[in-house]
Chain A
Amino acid sequence: MTLLNVENLKVTYATDDETVHAVNDVSFSIDEGVNYGLAGESGSGKSTVAEALLGLLPGNGTVERGTIEFNGTDLTSLSEAERRDVLWEDIAYIPQSAMDSLDPVMSTGDQIAQAIHTHRNVTDAKARDRVRELFEIVGLDPDRIDNYPHEFSGGMRQRVTIAMALALEPDLIIADEPTTGLDVIVQDKIIDKILEIQERMDSSLLLITHEIGVIAETCDDLSILYGGKVMEQGSVDNVLVNPTNPYTMGLKNSFPEIDENEDPVAIPGSPPNLNREPTACVFEDRCPFATDECGESHPDLVDLPNRNHRSACHRVKEAAQLRRDADEPETWNIPDDGDADSDRGEVILETDALEKHYEQSQPLLSKLRGEDPDYVKAVDGVSLSVRRSEVLGVAGESGCGKSTLGETMALLEDPTGGDFMFDGEPYEYYRDGNLQEFRRKVQIIFQDPFDSLNPRQTVRKLVGEPLTIHDYRTDEKERAIVETLEKVGLTPAEKFLDQYPHELSGGQRQRVAVAKALVLDPDFLICDEPASMLDVSLKVNLLNLLRGLADAEDIGIVYISHDLASLMQVSDRLAIMYLGRVIEEGDVDRIASQPRHPYTSSLLSAAPEKDPTADRTRVLLEGEPPDPVDLPSGCAFAPRCPKAQGSCWEAEPAIDEIGDETHRAACYFPKGEEGLNASDASAVDETKFPESANTDSVGD
């Protein structure tokens, strides 16, 4: 039976100088007990749909037309009070940003109890019991219900919001990007939890996300949104295996996956301007298959024969052909530079047992008594080397010390121990008076680079600034700037020189940020989560850019991220970090196909796959990494390790415990020792659905 039926929903936002047509005649329906996915790049209107359903649109948002029928009643026609009764009782909501969705000055338990009290007449004691029960269901310690939000980590806060959503056993749960911003392991655990609970309670789920991999794994039906329009709709198996819409094809191709040999192909361009009612196909200016017809009207959503599958494209009849073409990068106007695995050069940066320990603040009295302070061992004995033309990926959960490692390598933090060599000179050489030289040769790109661009400066100023600071190529500044802009793909450079950041698209701004780092012709680049907040297509663009730079410019790159799939795409070698140490290191292919350390296996198995037919066995890790203070002796991973044995607790395994130069790991009982890689069941499942099957399905 249909639970929710949305018909021709149209939502606009009034802004100071224009009307934003955020959602344009969207229709879809969700059956009872079904998981429904809503996918699309950011700005495609996903959150707006969710907010319209819940009646949570901000003050300047209006539902222009359309009906939202829930269990037979039209939600748009309800009064405020009637709607409040439906909220949470029947429709609950898991918000986008768990980090700041909880009331900071109210204990988490009270916030859940508040939801119960608002709708049910129960005693405080009963409500508290229910809260404890809910905490248990979502895997939180029931004794922590009186804790405040700031006492929980991001993943745990998301569990609190899930517990809240379950409180009244609603018929429908709307989850808006419940895992964006969380690292893979946490994301995987949260998704698993949502599914488990939802199965148990038999409610429906509307899952909103830009990660189609998550939808492929969890949903039955989905809609793909673009520019506020439904581009394609139907069962996940149909839509994601045999997409018939060019946008879906692009989205799917740009989703990086771990066990994929081809480079992901990004959709070039940026999302459409929504300041008027769409008159042409909303995807027209990015679509490689656009014809004249596409410029005249937006295509209607048409049913494809004999299946739960609808698509809005004027060329839907040629879908099979389009699908074949869409796999080729040339189609999207991206030059295929092939897998020119250029030779790696000599070692440029090397660390040996590098350490960065932070002293913990301690009370005055213990200071007076002269007690030894505790140390946070953010980086604890890391030995790595990076060659020219090589990209070294550094992966790990949040808090494992990746960023500190990056900053220490960039000498933004002084190492507290170990050796450090760059370009043949030791750390001391740079510390004692040659830091300026080091700062020119080594550049670091931080998370969300385009936030750091001064909005009042032109591209010329922005990119030229480092030249002035370092007095580098100052006599031919203009040429240096133009060269660099072209290097990062902003061509023709002259067109961009006098533009301000706000006149550029997200992807272009990010290229400017990269250009700022490259204009000094560095020998080494350190990138710390530069793409974590970006949409897939922008992310893939950046990865390809960096990969190309490493090959063409002979620079060494360290790429730090929690996103294994991206790392696999861009890196030559990979180092997996856990609690300040590298626990596995080696060539990307070898780690992907044959991880040795149990921690690596669980990281790998946590990444979702976009192919809904692929089965993946989850290895869920218990708990969260402990604080890197006072670690137990022995293997630091032992408390969470499924394979730990008595001897693991006795002494710490060194990184070269097993393996050789090309692949080594710090583990006494590594994977693949018992039988060889064939029995490696808990790693990524290799069975892939044959992509070419069923291509003759549509209309021909």
Chain B
Amino acid sequence: MSKFQRFLLKRLAISVLLTLVAVSVIFVVLRLLPGSPFEALVTSGNLNQEQIDEIRAMYGLDQSIWKQYINYLGSLLTFQFGYSILRSQPVWEVLEPRLINSLILLVPALVTTAILSSVLGMYAGWNRGSRLEKASIVSTTLLRSTPVFITAIFFIIVFAYNLEIVPALGMRSIRATPDGYLETFVSLDFLHHYLLPFTVAVLYYSGDFLLLARNGVVEKRGSEFLKLHRAKGLTEMEQLARAGRNSMLPILTYFTLRLGMIFQGLILLEVVFSWPGIGRELVLAIQQQDYPLVQAAVFIMALAVIIANLAADVLYAYFDPTVSTNGGGSA
């Protein structure tokens, strides 16, 4: 087994362990929440005790907590999320389209901002002290420190209500009845709805990448190897590219981690824009104490984080020739 394989195996094992822990935590926390999804139905008097017991049995809620836990583990880990209590629909059928909706908004936004802001950040760092550098730092810091829903509302007021360039809410107009993803996403109407939340997401993420890239380049700027590159006759831009390549690792790692946290980060954004994504769905499900739905949504989010962490480690090891892949054993 090569060093790298060993490293990979170790990281995988850690990830599996983490997933188990995360899943268990979700289980415990949900059971600790006060009330149950049926209480509302019971207090409204629509169901009698017998019916309740029946339903509880149907959802397996009458079994011992251990039994429930085992069943729960079994089904989650095989991606059988069960039925949504309130929607009477398989959970996955509820979540799948919303997951896609979220991804279609957030992944392109994250990629765009990662590329644009990093390049801008590198350029700013190279021209340290220039007006561009100062302006970019001030504006991104401002954007980063403002809560995303405020930026979002501000954009809605300006571009949707005042200028009326784009619609304020939703993903498609109410009248649209698209069939299948292709029809949903490949349409001008969608693009129209897409622009505003996309822009806000791009701006929201830009600060971290910009600062990370700028700091990386500033730190590399006076280094000896760049002097040698300069002596070799590389142009300014080629030198900047080398400085950039040398500060890529933290950016790459950060990108991967951000990708994992993509759903959590912008739940509020989805809520403000009424974007039918997984974040907004989670908020609704929590309000309605729809256990299976919440469980599944949280599980998917946790899994994304864990997988992203794994990917970040592996990418790091792959891209940094100096990182030791034997798990830091050779101290």
Contact = CB atoms under 8 A, between A and B. Distances in A.
Given A104-B246, A361-B331, A148 B322 contact: yes
A118 interface: yes
Contacts of B31: none
Interface residues of B, number: 28
A447 B236 CA distance: 38
B222 A58 contact: yes
Interface in A84-111: 84-89, 92-93, 95-97, 100-107
A119 B234 CA distance: 9
A85 B231 CA distance: 10
Contacts of B326: 361, 363
Interface string B269-304: 000000000000000000000000000000000000
B314 to A, nearest CB: 17
Contacts of A412: none
Contacts of B329: 361-362
Nearest to A80: B236
Given A95-B224, A361-B329, A104 B322 contact: yes
Interface in B1-44: 6
Interface in B201-238: 222-225, 227-236, 238
A151 B321 CA distance: 9
Contact of A363 (B6, B246, B248, B321): B6
A104 B225 contact: yes
B330 A88 contact: no
Given A85-B233, A118-B232, A104 B227 contact: no
B224 A88 contact: no
Contacts of B230: 56, 87
B144 interface: no
Interface in A45-75: 54, 56, 58
A115 to B, nearest CB: 5
A84 B233 CA distance: 4
Nearest to A118: B233
A253 interface: no
Given A95-B224, A105-B321, A88 B246 contact: no
Contact of B232 (A88, A100, A105, A363): A88
B258 interface: no
Contacts of A107: 321
A531 to B, nearest CB: 24
Interface in B316-331: 319-322, 326, 329-331
A247 B321 CA distance: 47
B192 interface: no
A418 B227 CA distance: 49
A161 interface: yes
A336 B235 CA distance: 57
A102 B225 contact: yes
B98 interface: no
Contact of A93 (B231, B319, B320): B231
B147 to A, nearest CB: 37
Given A103-B246, A150-B321, A361-B330, A161 B232 contact: no
5 A-B pairs with least C-beta separation: A361-B329, A148-B321, A87-B233, A93-B231, A84-B233
Interface of A: 54, 56, 58, 80, 84-89, 92-93, 95-97, 100-107, 114-115, 118-119, 148, 150-151, 161, 164, 360-363
Given A100-B223, A148-B321, 13 more contacts: A54-B231, A56-B227, A88-B231, A95-B227, A95-B228, A96-B224, A101-B227, A101-B228, A114-B234, A118-B233, A119-B233, A361-B326, A361-B331
